[in-house]
Every structure is written in C-alpha cells, then in structure tokens.
Structure 1
Amino acid sequence: MNSIKAVVKAAVVFVVNTWAQFAEFSFPSKYPWQWKVEMLRDRYEKDTTDLFKKIIKPGMTVLDVGGHIGYFTRLFSRLVGPSGHVYAFEPDPYNFSLLKKNTEGFSNTRIVNTAVSDTEGTIDFYEIEDSTGCHTTVPTNAPARKLSVNALMLDSFMKERGEVDVIKMDIEGGEPRALLGMERILSSERPLRIVMELQPDALARAGTSSAAVIASLKQKGFEAYGILRGGVKSAPITDITGLQLYEGKTDYANVLFER
C-alpha cells in the first residue's frame, strides 16, 4: 500500500511541476505540491484574491509591497492590463530571483530588490529558516540569518511615477515603518485601497499592535474592513480579533483599508 501511495504522489508531483513549467511559474524548492496548485489555480488566500479581482481595474497602478515569489504580482499584472502599472518590492535575494523569473516578459511590471520602510539606505533583515514567506525587518527569536538590505520610502519612489490606486502590503511586521515612509500618499484625498496582512506577534515585536495600525489609518480617512469569503467586505472593524475567529486563524488576518 505504501508503495502505491508513493507512486501516486510521485505522479501528482510530476503533473504539478509540469503544469508549473508550462505556466512559467517557478517555486521554492521545498514548496509542497498543494501550495503550488493553489497558486497555479489563483486560489492562494482565495478570499483576498477574489477581493483583488473585484477592486483592481485596467489602467490602475498597483504596488505589491512584499512581492515574495510573485503570486500576487502576476495577478495584478493581468488585472491592470497593458495600460496599467505594477511595482513589486522584495528585499530577499532568493525570493527576488524567483520573482524575477516569474515576471519575465510582463511589460507592465517593474520589480525592485528593496525593502519598503521609513528610511533610505540599508536596514537589518532577517531570513527565517525554512519559511520563504516569513522573512522580516523586525528582530525575531525564530532561527534566522541576519543580513543588510537596501530600503526605500514609497513617497520618494512614487514621486515621479504618478498616483497609486491599490497597495498590497505583507511584510511581516514592517508595515508601521512602511506607512511612515508614505505619508504623502496617505495624505492625498484621492481614493486609495490598501490590503494589509496584520500579524499580532510581528507587530508586537515592532512595538505596536493591529488596533494601533488600524487607528492610525482611520486618522488618515480610511475605513478598515475584514475580507470575507468571495472577497466580500465585512462591517467596519477596529481590531482583528473577531476577524481571526471568523477565519479560524490565530497568527494573522488580512484587512482592507479603503478611502
């Protein structure tokens, strides 16, 4: 029986890897086939993916802050079309190498091998062992390799590049500093949507909380919403506790900020 299971698993892995090759989508070497299938089918973080499909329109400018290997970057590129623009930021060297492969030929997309923060120059960065999606600019007790990476402020980067319509931000506790570096963007009166992952433990290590992040953006005129099944907005929220219970998660929640 075990030998049959091994043969079936090997066949499934082969099919998924072949699918990924045809889709020109490269994955980290240790990614399980189930995660690959989710991304190849546009079903990774499905509720958030569904939301993006509703709010991103052709011609928009979208920022992917924490581009990782490019799942959302590729989605955004398709949604904004040839008249739109996507800028993806990823500081980790290995993730960036995959992001680069996964966006080759995407003429409306620019990728930047840089962290987004409240300063320009170099900052500390922590590569978490065995988890390419959890690297962070916030000191951590998890096994990690510390290195220096380049950083930029979104206000400076976007100064000559026009207005922003949608921002996706998933940088493992680095969100408060990134927000400080985009005061001009946040102070504009034009419509803007930000989809942000809020992770209580990472935010605590950064000296803040999800409630504080939500409150700071409410002061800028944003309303905060949970993201429900099918990409539907919840009633306005001031913290993520109820949203975490709804999603059955304890480590993070995705929140839509809308103005």
Structure 2
Amino acid sequence: MTKPDRAVWRTELDRRSHTAGVRGLAHRLRHPVRTSFPSTRTLRAQRHRGEGRPSTARTFWGQRMAIALPEEVSISIHRHGYVDYDLTAFLLSHLRPGSTVLDVGAHIGYYTMLAGALVGPGGRVVSFEPTPSTLSVLRTNARHLPQVTVVPAAVWSKRDELEFFDRGLGYSAYNSAFEARLPDVVRRRVPSERISVTAVSLDDHVSAEGLHVDFVKIDAESAEAHVLAGMRGLLTSGQPVISLEVGDLDVTDAPSSRELVDTLMDAGYEPWELRRGTPVPHRPQTRYAYQNLLFAPTGQWPAPHTKEA
C-alpha cells in the first residue's frame, strides 16, 4: 500500500459523508447499484432468514475489502466505503506511523485495515475476534498486512473459556457473551447459536508480547466492563487513548454506560465526545444512546483538542 495521504483521504471521507439533500441524491443516481440495491427492506429480510454471501467493496481510502452482505457494517462499507464517520475521521488525524493499536472486537476488520494503513509497516495492529465465521473474513482482510496480528479470541478480564452467542452472518456485529444489543422486538427474532470461545485479557497479552500501546478501540458488545477489568495495568502504566462504544439497551448482567465512563474517569482518564471527528470535552450522562466516546489521560489533551495532540 502507498504511503497514506491523510488530507486526500479526509477529503474523500467528507465527500462520501454528505449523503443528504441534492448532493446525496446525485450520488445515489450515479451509483444506483452500490447505494440502493438491494433495498434496505430486502437486506433486512435476508438477515432475519440468516442468508448471506461473501462479497468485496472498496474503502474510502481505496483498499479492496472482503465483506459479508447483508450484515450491517458490510452494507455501510459497500454503499459508502466507511463506517462511523466520527471515529474514522478521528483516526485519520490521530494515528501516526509506527503506532501500536489494539482492536478489541475487530469483527470483519474495517478498523483493523484503516489502522494498518495509518500506522504503516513500522506500526502494529493487534485484532481480537472470537467468532469463527467473522474471524475468517477478518483474516482475509488482514492477510496482506504484515503489521496486523489476528488473535482468535474474545477479550475478557482473564484468560478463560466463554459461552458465546453466534448470531449468524447477518447479525454478526452483535455476537457476544451477552444478549444482543438490539431492541427487544428485534432481539427475539435474531438466530443465536451457543459456541465456546477462548478469552484473553489485554494485560496478559500486552505483557507477553512486550507491547507499548498507543490506542485501544473497544467494541465488545456488552463485555466492556470485563475488558476494562483485564487492562488495569495498561490503564495505569501504558495509558493509551481509548475509544469505547457506549449505549444503554438494558442488557441483562451488563453495567450501564455511565458505570463504564466512571470506571475510566476513576482510572485517571478524561471523557471526550466526537463532533465531525474532532474531540470536545464530554459531560457524563445518566443514560446513553449509541456513540463512541474517547478517553485520554487527564491533561493530555487541551480543550479544544487539536490534531497535534
């Protein structure tokens, strides 16, 4: 892969993110197959039936990627070339060549591939993914990235064997050791197969590999408290910047998002939220809708945050 041109990539990301109004209509008319077919309704029906097929798409930075339609992340990549504008834009400005990134809950590998492109051959990306079907797609996407190491395991508070729920290709983004993070009416219709997976802690893995970690992306589908419990050493000594998915859907045995925020603040971190990819100070809330919050060691980022941070 060529050396990343972050300015060009950001321009392309911004262009693709403007999908509303006349500009968005023109984009859909120019690319009707990629952006409109099959319809959302058709894809939703296929997910409910457990149907799926491998495919490929091109990311906004120009890399070919294996995807798994009709899964939600794959649809976004197929239609737009990216997932979650805010976190993607932040990574474009934050990740530097030579950095080390941990991708907890790597899924099919979108953030793994983006991080691999940004940290370059001198950096490292360690991607954790336990579900065999999803792991297969992730490995396909990582096979030409020597800076990427795929770990076939869930991340937990300690090394263990977990009962895990594989929700099929269409709902693979919700595979978890807990109930699916979906509304009840959808949750009841999602297929779910119990499997056994290996789990590891980040502290153990980082110690064994001798890593100095710069950034951790955590998307662990209600297991975030266990992930944080297994990285206390990393929070104390390494103090990487952390991205944490939050969102309260009342999953049994999972703590509230506010409890996760408080855990990181008690560990010496400040919370930040993203606005068009730029971190701004975050005021903790009682209840959270879905979003990715950032956490940086207290005092590391001035307010407002600049790209040099």
TM over 0.5, shorter chain: yes
Confirm or deny: 8 A CA contact 2:35 2:79 kept in the other structure: no
Q: Over aligned residues, Cα RMSD in angstroms?
A: 2.7
Confirm or deny: 8 A CA contact 2:160 2:200 kept in the other structure: yes
Partner residue in 1 for 2:8: none
Partner residue in 1 for 2:259: 212
Partner residue in 1 for 2:133: 94
> Is 1:233–2:258 an aligned residue pair?
no
Partner residue in 2 for 1:222: 269
Partner residue in 1 for 2:155: 116
TM-score scaled by length of structure 2: 0.70
Q: CA shift at 1:11, angstroms?
A: 11
Confirm or deny: 8 A CA contact 1:124 1:148 kept in the other structure: yes
Residues 136 and 34 (structure 1), Cα distance of their counterparts in 2 relative to 1, 3 Å cut: closer
> Is 1:173–2:219 an aligned residue pair?
no
Q: CA shift at 1:29, angstroms?
A: 3.5
Gaps of at least 5 residues in structure 2 are 1-28, 39-54, 181-186, 298-309
Amino acid paired to 1:205 = T
Gaps of at least 5 residues in structure 1 are 245-249
1:136 to 176, 179, 183: 176
Question: Aligned partners of 2:76 and 2:212: how far apart in 1?
Answer: 34
Question: Aligned partners of 1:128 and 1:201: how far apart in 2?
Answer: 17
Q: CA shift at 1:50, angstroms?
A: 0.4
Q: CA shift at 1:171, angstroms?
A: 1.0
Partner residue in 1 for 2:293: 255
Residues 206 and 253 (structure 1), Cα distance of their counterparts in 2 relative to 1, 3 Å cut: farther
Question: Aligned partners of 2:112 and 2:262: how far apart in 1?
Answer: 28
Deviations 1:184-215 (A, max 9, x none): 10111x5421001112126x423411111111
Partner residue in 2 for 1:147: 195
Amino acid paired to 2:88 = T
SS in 2 for 1:118: coil
Confirm or deny: 8 A CA contact 1:174 1:206 kept in the other structure: no
Confirm or deny: 8 A CA contact 1:173 1:205 kept in the other structure: no
Greater shift, 137-146 or 17-26, is seen at 17-26
Residues 165 and 132 (structure 1), Cα distance of their counterparts in 2 relative to 1, 3 Å cut: same
Partner residue in 2 for 1:247: none
TM-score scaled by length of structure 1: 0.83
Partner residue in 1 for 2:43: none
Q: CA shift at 1:124, angstroms?
A: 1.2
Deviations 1:133-189 (A, max 9, x none): 11111245643211110000111111032211000010110110011111110111x
Confirm or deny: 8 A CA contact 1:116 1:153 kept in the other structure: yes
